[in-house]
Amino acid sequence: MKIHYHYFPILLPILIPLCLWADDFSKNEKPITSYFALKEGKIAYTKSGSGKQNFILLPGIGDRKESYSDLVHLLKNEGNVYTFDLRGMGESDVSFSSYGPKETAMDILSFIQRNNLQNVYIIANSMTAASAVYIQSKEKKRVLGMVLSGPFVRDKEPMSWGLKSILQIAFRGPWGPSVWAKFYESLFPIQPPKDLEERKEKLKENLKEEGRMAALRSMLFAPKEECENELVHVKGNHIIIMGLKDPDFSNPEEETNWIQDTIGGTVYLYENVGHYPFLEEPNRFYSDIKSLWQKK
């Protein structure tokens, strides 16, 4: 076939924008949801990318796997990226008898073992940081490292009866999803994402589905003791990332230092970031965590 090179200058104004937009097209492409069957119900997850590394991304209470979309886009060239909805959240079932960090850990351990995953790295946020600790303590050979962001890995003080009552009232009834969405907004005190309103609406719609607020309340009151007990068994390849403006902690830096003193690892403190470092500064987050799996 004869190639007419003189057409190239005419086509360039069309081809260049297409090349630039291609990255955005792949970024906005919605991954297909798959399901992992357990005895009491199914766990929803998506898979992106390919490679020797396996990344498991776990959101916090009340959040959805889609919150990791920006990070997935950055990670998918590094290996297989699995993003999960917790029990009762997102597209996962609400048929489970219990919800909490230990339950999440057991679900992910089943997934790793059943799929014979090797070279696994866990990236967890908030409550599921405790889950990540438990997972690695039980699968040291498969799980080579973990990233804990905005991490709750211990029960510092018992929740008072009064606070429990307030939370039960706040997150029970038809107003519950809206109250949670408002609370979610408060976790971005400095630099909320541009699509915060859309995220809030999707959270509300999801939590309006039958059984989801009950699952959320169960997670709020679930103890972390069994996961906390495993902290002494997971010293090694860890990164702890905390937003210094995270309103979920009275002293974010103090909690970060306690975790580092307990399990070791590298700490990154983000000056103007709240509870979701991977969402508020995804490029920086990705740059900081690459040392987990990239050989020097």
Question: Which pLDDT does position 2 carry in this prediction?
Answer: 46
Identify the segments of the chain with pLDDT beneath 50: 1-5, 7-8, 11-26
pLDDT tens string 250-277? 999 999 999 999 999 999 999 999 999 9
Return the pLDDT at 197.
96
Q: Is there a domain that residue 238 lies in?
A: yes
Q: Are strands 42-48 and 79-84 parallel, antiparallel or unpaired?
A: antiparallel
Q: What is the model's pLDDT at position 122?
A: 98
Question: What's the distance, CA 192 to chain centroid?
Answer: 17
* pLDDT score for 10: 53
User: What's the structural domain count of the chain?
Assistant: 1
What is the pLDDT at residue 31?
A: 82
Question: How far out from the chain centre does Cα 6 lie?
Answer: 51
Rounded Cα distance between 67 and 230, Å, is 27
- Please compute, for residue 296, the number of CA atoms within 13 A of its CA located in the half-sphere on the CB side: 2
- Residue 228 and residue 155 in contact, taking contact as beta carbons nearer than 8 Å: yes
pLDDT score of 1? 41
195 φ/ψ angles, rounded to the nearest 5 degrees? -100, 30
Place of tokens 């070791």: 264
Residue 253 belongs to domain with CATH number: 3.40.50.1820
CB burial of residue 232 (10 Å; 0-12, 13-18, 19+): exposed
* Residue 169 confidence (pLDDT): 66
pLDDT tens column, 13-30? 444 444 444 444 445 567
Domain presence at residue 266: yes
Handedness of CA 153, 65, 241, 255 (dihedral sign): negative
Look at residue 72 and tell me if it is in a domain: yes
Number of Cα atoms under 13 Å in the Cβ half of residue 129: 23
Q: Which residues are bridge partners to 80 per DSSP?
A: 54
- Residue 74, domain member (yes or no): yes
pLDDT, position 29: 66
Radius of gyration of the chain (CA): 20
Q: Are 76 and 103 in contact (CB under 8 A)?
A: no
CA distance 274 to 181: 16
Domain hosting 134: range is 33-158+223-292
Q: What is residue 175's predicted lDDT score, i.e. its pLDDT? A: 77
Is 185 within the bounds of a domain? Answer: no
Helix (H) / strand (E) element for 84: namely strand 79-84
Residue 15 in domain: no
Residue 39 lies in a domain: yes
Q: Is residue 130 part of a domain?
A: yes
